[in-house]
Amino acid sequence: MKRGHYSNSYIKHNGKYLFDGREAVRPIIDKSPGTRVPRRRNRGNHFSGKYPNLAFQQKNELRMLAKLKHNIDPEVQDLLPEAVELAKLQRASRLQSALNEPIKKNYGSGLIDLSNSGYGSKAYSSPTAHKLFPNKFKANNRGPSKPKKGPYEI
């Protein structure tokens, strides 16, 4: 059995395996008092945490606000609404200035040759330009001028 690894645990008698009744003496595997590793807590991840719903997030924010109120002087607490209004005004002005700037659009890599005379004219990109300027266009890839004969034609 198992390439002779457990030859001390059994005897083969008349084609039968007779195992030893007692098990090998092994140490009791259990948690020893010094090996318990505490779970790492995710503390301080309030702003970028994944909350299961909005109520948990708002409750956490209320707790943070209450902690700030107890740790801050009353003078600073009185100045807090003014600071919030000032921050809102600065944000609005920053957004307004961003709206006034022209938006740069990337229309590709610039591989189009704009030096072509007539590029951008009405006749250049018109779907009916072949009717307006018939001499400018030549029929291409319209098939053979002479139709092929079928298998039953002579």
**Band of pLDDT at residue 66, cut at 50, 70 and 90:** confident
Residue 97 CA to residue 126 CA, distance in Å, equals: 39
Decide if 86 is inside a domain: yes
Poorest-pLDDT segment among 26-35, 80-89, 145-154: 26-35
Alpha-carbon span 129 to 94, nearest angstrom: 48
The answer as to whether 57 is a domain residue is: no
B/e letters for 104-123, b = 16+ CB within 10 Å, e = fewer, are eeeeeeeeeeeeeeeeeeee
- Name the residue range of residue 88's domain: 73-99
Task: Assess whether pLDDT exceeds 80 at residue 52.
Answer: yes
132 confidence band (pLDDT: 50, 70, 90): confident
Residue 80 falls inside a structural domain? yes
Q: What is the pLDDT of residue 92?
A: 94
What does pLDDT average to over the chain? 77
| Residue with token string 């409750």 | 59
What CA–CA distance (Å, rounded) separates 123 from 138? 15
As a dihedral over the C-alpha atoms of residue 72, residue 74, residue 76, residue 81, rounded to 10 degrees, the angle is 110
The answer to whether residue 149 sits within a structural domain is: no
Start-to-end Cα distance in the chain: 86
Please check whether residue 38 lies inside any domain of the structure: no
Q: Based on the structure, what is the number of domains in the chain?
A: 1
Instruction: Give a yes or no: residue 55 inside a domain.
Output: no
User: Is position 152 within any domain?
Assistant: no
Q: What is the 3-state secondary structure (H, E, C) of 52-71?
A: CCHHHHHHHHHHHHHHHHHH
More confident call, 128 vs 23:
128
Determine, yes or no, domain membership for 81: yes
Confidence of residue 24 (pLDDT cuts 50, 70, 90): low
- Whether the per-residue pLDDT at 139 is higher than 70: the answer is no
